């Protein structure tokens, strides 16, 4: 199987849905299930492929329902993601694995840890989105995020009108424009990272692939993020490590600090000056190495 084929694999799940996934890094290395951001796809894993190879990690990056090659699933919860990933691991012949969730993939990484305690060895969350339901986390975000998640919570018609009919199709057609808008008000570290051609290319490919089937997957996720995640954080007992940039304006550091309070034994690494994109991309080696080492605690 060549590198292109490894980025476009599919599995038919028990309920008949297709699950798309990519594999990058060292294919004989330590298995790590990668939970991509929002809105993104399995192709986001390309950003950490070289680091994964250096750290001897096998990154397995599935598309969540409604993104890329994965079929949409109605009335799902974030907790349901565990069943899809368990079937994927079975398909690949992997009994136990670690988990790495980035940004909007953070809640999904935690869901795997809570729902699959006998299979997940360790979990890492990078610049992860915090709990928006029943907390003040949303108020710490910039106004576009507050508006979007507010609509996802209370005005689904507005969410579909603005994000489904206007912004989603625009981002699909012009992902470069969307990346440029992300640099407005972002820290210098993010602006520098997002100017790199290989980073822009990978992020644009990931977003375009995510929205290629349409906006249903992204709209559904906004609603899921804005409500109760559907699983109990207290069930997580394996090693957990958080990384977050102190200059992150996309998902503020307060999200990680609030989540970490649920895990007295968690390791929390914060980085002055690092942002939402610079941290997971530029420190990928350090993150993957630390995650793998955490298994040995």
Q: Give the DSSP letter string of 156-206.
A: HHHHIIIIIIIIHHHHHH-HHHHHHHHTTT--HHHHHHHHSHHHHHHHHHH
pTM as predicted: 0.95
CATH 3.40.50.1820 fits domain 3-294:
yes
Say whether the peptide bond before residue 39 is cis (omega within 30 degrees of 0).
yes
Of 21, 115, 19, 108, nearest in space to 72 by CA: 19
* Band of residue 170 on the pLDDT scale cut at 50, 70, 90: confident
Of 54, 60, 46, nearest in space to 112 by CA: 60
User: In this structure, are residues 251 and 287 in contact, taking their beta carbons and an 8 Å threshold?
Assistant: no
User: In this structure, are residues 105 and 128 in contact, taking their beta carbons and an 8 Å threshold?
Assistant: yes
Tokens for 166, please give them.
């206007």
Predicted confidence (pLDDT) per residue in 94-144, tens digit:
999 999 999 999 999 999 999 999 999 999 999 999 999 877 888 888 888
**Residue 180 reports pLDDT greater than 90:** no
Q: What is the pLDDT of residue 291?
A: 94
Please state, in angstroms and rounded to a whole number, the distance separating the CA atoms of residues 64 and 88. 12
Q: Helices 216-226 and 197-211 meet at what angle, rounded to 10?
A: 90
Summarize the confidence of residues 216-233 as an average pLDDT.
94
Tokens for 59, please give them.
């990154």
Looking at residue 61, the DSSP 8-state letter turns out to be E
Percent of the chain with pLDDT over 70: 99
Looking at residue 225, the DSSP 8-state letter turns out to be H
User: In this structure, are residues 189 and 112 in contact, taking their beta carbons and an 8 Å threshold?
Assistant: no
């Amino acid at each position: 199987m060549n590198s292109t084929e490894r980025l476009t694999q599919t599995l038919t799940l028990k309920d008949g849905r297709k699950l798309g996934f990519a594999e990058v890094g060292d294919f004989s290395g330590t298995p790590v299930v990668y939970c991509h951001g929002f809105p993104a796809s399995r192709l986001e894993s390309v950003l950490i492929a070289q680091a994964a190879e250096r750290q001897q990690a096998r990154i397995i990056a599935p598309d969540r329902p409604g993104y890329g090659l994965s079929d949409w699933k109605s009335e799902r919860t974030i907790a349901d993601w565990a069943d899809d990933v368990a079937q994927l691991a079975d398909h690949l012949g992997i009994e136990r694995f670690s988990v790495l969730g980035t940004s909007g993939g953070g809640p999904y990484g935690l869901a795997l840890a809570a729902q699959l305690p006998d299979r997940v060895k360790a979990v890492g969350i990078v610049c992860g989105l915090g709990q928006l339901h029943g907390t003040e986390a949303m108020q710490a975000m910039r106004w576009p995020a507050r508006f979007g998640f507010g609509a996802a919570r209370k005005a689904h018609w507005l969410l579909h009108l603005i994000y489904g009919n206007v912004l989603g199709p625009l981002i699909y057609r012009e992902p470069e424009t969307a990346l440029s808008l992300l640099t407005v008000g972002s820290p210098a570290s993010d602006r520098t990272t997002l100017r790199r051609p290989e980073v822009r290319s990978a992020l644009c490919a990931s977003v375009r692939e995510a929205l290629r089937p349409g906006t249903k997957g992204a709209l559904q996720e906004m609603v899921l993020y804005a409500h109760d995640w559907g699983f109990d954080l207290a069930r997580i007992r394996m090693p957990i490590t958080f990384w977050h940039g102190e200059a992150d304006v996309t998902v503020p550091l307060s999200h990680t600090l609030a989540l970490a309070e649920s895990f007295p034994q968690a390791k929390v690494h914060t980085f002055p000056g690092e942002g939402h994109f610079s941290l997971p991309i530029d420190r990928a080696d350090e993150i993957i190495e630390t995650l793998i080492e955490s298994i040995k605690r």
